[in-house]
């Protein structure tokens, strides 16, 4: 269900017109991300041969959706660095340390949108500023609108799935170790993934 549908209002007209989809226009409003039903994850290459996956289990955020004009939609997300989890306690502790995120000095990773655009159909791109360790750089997240529903408690929900790729060195995350066979222990490229469920506010 795209934000816009094309309809030729005059059978003799040469150019179709754009009309706002009423179903999506009805979704316009402010939303709070439901952290219990959302996930923010990452994938990074390890030792040149496999992928390590992890997530941040504590995060919060808000969305403003404009179904009539997607460019006016906004997003804000705060992620607690100390909540990083890869399934191995020693590795998680290393990631929290000064070699990587330095969670004690920089407890939050934040994203604030500056622009939103519809790419076509259910595909969107949100561009904004990602801050890690007091370094702020632009980030674009490609999103797919997964739909909307009213849950059993009467909450109006929307869902999005998204991804982005970054170079961690751009945010000062430069720790690494050389391998005897060539290459490095941890790749610079990191894939971020977003599965978001958000509840509309009254």
Q: Tens of pLDDT along 35-52?
A: 999 999 999 999 999 999
pLDDT at 16 over 90: no
DSSP assignment of 57-111: --EEEEEEE-SS-GGG-EEEEEEEGGGEE-S-HHHHHHHHSTTTT-TTT--EEEE
Please give the C-alpha separations between residue 159 and each of 91, 96, 131, in angstroms, as whole numbers: 31, 30, 24
pLDDT at 15: 39
Query: Mean per-residue pLDDT for 164-190?
Result: 96
Please give the C-alpha separations between residue 148 and each of 50, 61, 137, 200, in angstroms, as whole numbers: 36, 18, 31, 10
Q: Quick check: 100 and 111 in contact, CB under 8 A?
A: no
pLDDT at 14 over 80: no
**Residue in this structure with the two tokens 């992890």, named with its chain if needed:** 54
Query: Mean per-residue pLDDT for 65-76?
Result: 95
Q: Copy the structure tokens of residue 1.
A: 């269900």
């Amino acid at each position: 269900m795209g934000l816009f549908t094309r309809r030729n209002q005059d059978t003799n007209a040469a150019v179709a017109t754009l009309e706002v989809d009423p179903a999506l226009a009805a979704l316009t409003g402010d939303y709070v991300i439901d952290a219990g039903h959302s996930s923010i994850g990452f994938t990074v290459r390890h030792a040149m041969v496999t992928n390590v996956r992890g997530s941040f289990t504590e995060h919060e955020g808000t969305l403003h959706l404009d179904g009539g004009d997607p460019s006016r939609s906004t997003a804000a997300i705060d992620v607690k660095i100390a909540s990083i989890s890869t399934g191995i306690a020693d590795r998680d502790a290393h990631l929290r340390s000064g070699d990587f995120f330095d969670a004690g000095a920089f407890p939050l990773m934040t994203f604030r949108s500056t622009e939103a655009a519809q790419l076509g159909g259910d595909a969107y791109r949100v561009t904004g500023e990602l801050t890690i360790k007091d370094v702020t750089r632009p980030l674009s997240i490609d999103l797919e609108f997964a739909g909307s529903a009213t849950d059993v408690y009467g909450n109006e929900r929307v869902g999005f799935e998204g991804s982005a790729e970054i170079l961690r060195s751009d945010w000062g995350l430069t720790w690494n170790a050389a391998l005897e066979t060539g290459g490095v222990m941890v790749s610079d490229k990191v894939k971020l993934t977003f599965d978001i469920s958000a509840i509309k506010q009254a």
